[in-house]
Amino acid sequence: MNNNWGIAIHGGAENKTKKEISEAQQAAYEQGLENALIAGWRVLNDGGSAVDAVEAAVRSMENNRLFNAGKGASLATDQSIEFDAAIMDGKTMKAGAIGGVKHIKNPITLAKTIMQKSKHVMLCATGAEDFAREYELEMKSDQYFWTEEKEKELEEAKKEKDVAGGHDTVGAVALDRNGNLAAATSTGGLVNQLPGRVGDSPIIGSGTYANNEVCAVSCTGDGEGIMRANTAHEVYAHMKYKGLSLKEASQAAMTLYKDRIEGDRNFVAMDKDGNIEFSFETNLMFRACKKGDEPSYVAVWKDEEVAWENEA
Amino acid sequence: MNNNWGIAIHGGAENKTKKEISEAQQAAYEQGLENALIAGWRVLNDGGSAVDAVEAAVRSMENNRLFNAGKGASLATDQSIEFDAAIMDGKTMKAGAIGGVKHIKNPITLAKTIMQKSKHVMLCATGAEDFAREYELEMKSDQYFWTEEKEKELEEAKKEKDVAGGHDTVGAVALDRNGNLAAATSTGGLVNQLPGRVGDSPIIGSGTYANNEVCAVSCTGDGEGIMRANTAHEVYAHMKYKGLSLKEASQAAMTLYKDRIEGDRNFVAMDKDGNIEFSFETNLMFRACKKGDEPSYVAVWKDEEVAWENEA
């Protein structure tokens, strides 16, 4: 029995200011976070695994149009909608991941099914879709994901000849009652990205990592930068090989190689003792956590201090 | 000026015994390695970059049917032929990668083009093929890659209901005269793999990694295990954070988490001082290296000691 069990989630990190998000919008995000948090927490409370908890939390956000994952995914430059996702089990260090996959309602469940049912870690594109159909996972037509608002976002990004982070990525880390860590990340990619672009989310060691001995990490932010910097694995390496605390290691991984690697790196991380760290460089990170029977914390803005350190 | 410049390559690692490879076959592999080595070495000798050198070496092996990359790629379970590749520039820490891509003659050049010409790090499947066509990279029909022998290999793997490593993967690491490191890896995947399967080769920090401050690494072996273990980044982390030598760090990364992560991990690694390490658990690794104007070393079997350590 591990009394430090709990879950922490993020729904992306952005540089929006308080003027750009209405009170009603903020309340909707907070409700979406709370729902996802509780979906994952319930699994843990019932004695379920960290893997199932992070999946449940991420599924909840994938089914909520507010977040850029599943239903809320962004449009690529050709109007296609593609998903990246990964899950990692800190106990077995098994992992499942998908990149550039269309039509799947819950990308994180496809990643978990690959981890549990195949000999592979990562499947991409139509091969992953075929695998999803074989395991009878729910598929959706483009219409399920499409909105007029997304098309406007794409048009604006095209005008500016840029790719836009949009609403980023969702993710979760958890420590279950048996002391097992897990991490999960899911994204709909960047507005106006090239078709087939794979970001950091499904890359084990970059956007997603879990290892019972050390920590679990799920990132959001500039995917290309996070991949080049191997951010999730750097949090782990700083803890394991330099002996840093989760907080110190998170700070180090966030700022490493900034001279060479641009873009913001944001993540939620949890260590084997149940400490939680939300590290982000942006103005806001949609985030929430709940440790055991303690109350939930839900936060949006930087000035809302949320983390969990065990009493010394 | 850096006087420790040089290049090291591998053409895969296997558990075949000496009885399973004829003298003529071995000579052909050695010639193929020598050709690739010299293609890369010439770039360095002429003052070119480590990035261009590793690309040249890998292209040479991609164009040689003996190696499982480009022309020699394995057949997936549906007879399709898909490529994974990545390249990383240790100076800028920029990277380019592709996963699950068909029809591209030289996958490593597509990865380099993504690194240099796009805002992305990784493209998969048809999105990557469209990008290749836009940049007028050479595409080939399935006929160019297909052989009767590959079909037989696939049939045998299907009988045994297994995926087979086949001839593995090719890769190169280099240190140029300006002290810049680079790594490149390219593969045709596993015989009988699921369509869309992405292995470790294109995963930055798993199959491929380069960072001027520390080392460059290119892996071959059990792709799923290498991804879960983040092998390339572990070599780096052991050197940077534990202060180990290249040789010690390579040994540590090869054996880490063996209790949880099965499969062989093999790689070539080079540090910023030009030391070279070939680490492999298999009976053989097709491998070669050449430092400055020293003679080339080409080797196949484990009992042929090949590495390069600078004189103390």
What predicted TM-score, i.e. pTM, was given to this entire model? 0.96
Which residue among A169, A185, A208, A231 is the active-site one?
A169
Residue A227 lies in a domain: yes
Bridge partners (DSSP) listed for residue A290? A7
- In this structure, is the dihedral angle defined by the CA atoms of residues B261, B267, B271 and B277, taken in order, positive or negative? positive
Lowest-confidence pick of A34-43, A146-155, B257-266: A146-155
First to last CA, chain A: 20
Give one DSSP letter per residue of A74-127, joined into a string.
PP-TTS---EEEEEEETTTTEEEEEEEE-SBS-HHHHHHHHHHHSS-SEEEHHH
Q: Which two tokens stand for residue B8?
A: 């090291």
pLDDT per position as a tens digit, B160-194: 877 766 557 999 999 999 999 999 999 998 888 89
Interface check for A241 against chain B (CB to CB < 8 A): the answer is: yes
A113 in catalytic set: no
Does B1 reside within a domain? no
Residue A41 resides in a domain: yes
| Candidates A92, A196, A257; nearest CB to B128 | A196
Nearest by CB to B228, from A121, A163, A193: name it. A121
B304/chain A closest Cα distance in angstroms: 33
B295 secondary structure, DSSP code: P
Task: Say whether A198 and B123 touch across the interface (CB within 8 A).
Answer: yes
Q: Which residues make beta-bridge pairs with B275?
A: none
Confidence category of residue A312, pLDDT binned at 50, 70, 90:
low
pLDDT for the residue A141: 94
Residues with Cβ within 8 Å of A242's Cβ and at least 6 positions away in sequence, in order, are A249, A252, B241
List the beta strands (DSSP E) in chain B. 6-14, 83-89, 94-101, 122-124, 169-175, 181-187, 197-198, 208-211, 215-221, 265-271, 276-279, 284-291, 297-301
Does residue A1 fall inside a structural domain? no
Helix axes A50-62, A23-45, angle to 10 degrees: 150
By CA distance, what is B261's nearest residue in A?
A93
User: ipTM for the complex?
Assistant: 0.96
pLDDT in tens, B66-107: 999 999 998 888 888 999 999 999 999 999 999 999 999 999
Beta strand residue intervals within A145-303, DSSP E: 169-175, 181-187, 197-198, 208-211, 215-221, 265-271, 276-279, 284-291, 297-301
For residue B121, the chain A residues in CB contact (below 8 A) are 198, 223-224, 227-228
Q: Which residues in chain B touch residue A198, judged by CB atoms under 8 angstroms apart?
A: 97, 99, 121-124
Which A residues, 72 through 91, put their C-beta within 8 Å of a C-beta on chain B?
88
- Bridge partners, A222 (sequence order): none
Q: Is B209 on the interface with A (CB under 8 A)?
A: yes
Averaged pLDDT, A73-97: 95
pLDDT digits (tens, 9 = 90+) for B207-265: 999 999 999 999 999 999 999 999 999 999 999 999 999 999 999 999 999 999 999 99
Residues above pLDDT 90, as percent of chain B: 83
Task: Examine residue A73 and state whether it is found in any structural domain, yes or no.
Answer: yes
Q: What is the DSSP string of A132-166?
A: HHHTT--B--HHHH--HHHHHHHHHHHHTTS-B-T
Predicted pLDDT at A164:
65
Q: Indicate yes or no: CB of A93 within 8 angstroms of CB of B229.
A: yes
Which residues, 6+ apart, have CB-to-CB distance to A243 below 8 Å?
none
Q: What torsion, rounded to 10 degrees, do the Cα atoms B298, B302, B306, B308 define? A: 140
- For CA atoms A10, A14, A16, A20, give the dihedral sign: negative
Pairing of strands A181-187, A169-175: antiparallel
**What does the alpha-carbon distance between residue A83 and residue A65 come to, in Å, rounded to a whole number?**
14
Total domains, chain A: 1
The answer to whether residue A189 neighbours chain B at the CB level (below 8 Å) is no
Residue B306's pLDDT band, with cuts at 50, 70 and 90, is low
Flag whether pLDDT at B303 surpasses 70. Answer: yes
- Span of A161-165, A200-204, B17-21 with lowest mean pLDDT: A161-165
CATH number of the structural domain spanning residue B215: 3.60.20.30
- From the list A127, A194, A196, the residue facing B194 with the nearest CB is A127
CA pair distance B290, B285, nearest whole angstrom: 16
- Between chains, do B230 and A205 touch, taking CB under 8 Å as contact? yes
Q: Which of B126, B229, B233 sits opposite A230 (nearest CB)?
A: B233
Q: How far is CA B84 from CA A156, A167, B74, B125, in A?
A: 33, 29, 12, 10
pLDDT at residue A23 in the model: 94
pLDDT at B1: 78
Instruction: DSSP letter for B247, please.
Output: H
How many angstroms away from the CA of A100 is the closest CA of chain B?
7
Tell me, yes or no, if A199 comes closer than 8 A to chain B by beta carbon.
yes
CB contact under 8 A, A120 and B194: yes
Among B121, B191, B238, most A C-beta atoms within 10 A, so best to mutate, is: B121
Q: Is residue A33 part of a domain?
A: yes
Range of the domain at B243: 6-311
Q: How many residue contacts between A and B have a Cβ separation below 8 Å? A: 151
* pLDDT tier, B312 (very low <50, low <70, confident <90, very high otherwise): low
Give which of A308, A290, A310, A299 is closest to A45, Cα–Cα. A290
pLDDT category at A237 given cuts 50, 70, 90 is very high
- Which chain B residue's Cα is nearest to A235? B237
Under 8 Å between Cβ of B102 and B143? no
Mean pLDDT to the nearest integer, B110-131: 97
Judge whether residue B309 has pLDDT over 80.
Answer: no
pLDDT at A71 > cutoff 80:
yes
Q: Quick one: tokens of B73?
A: 């790629």
Residues of B labelled catalytic = 169
Q: What is the largest CA-CA distance in chain A?
A: 55
Does A122 fall in a domain?
Answer: yes
Across the interface, do A228 and B93 touch by the CB < 8 Å criterion? yes
Give B270's pLDDT tier (boundaries 50, 70, 90).
very high
Inter-chain touch A205–B257, beta carbons under 8 Å: no
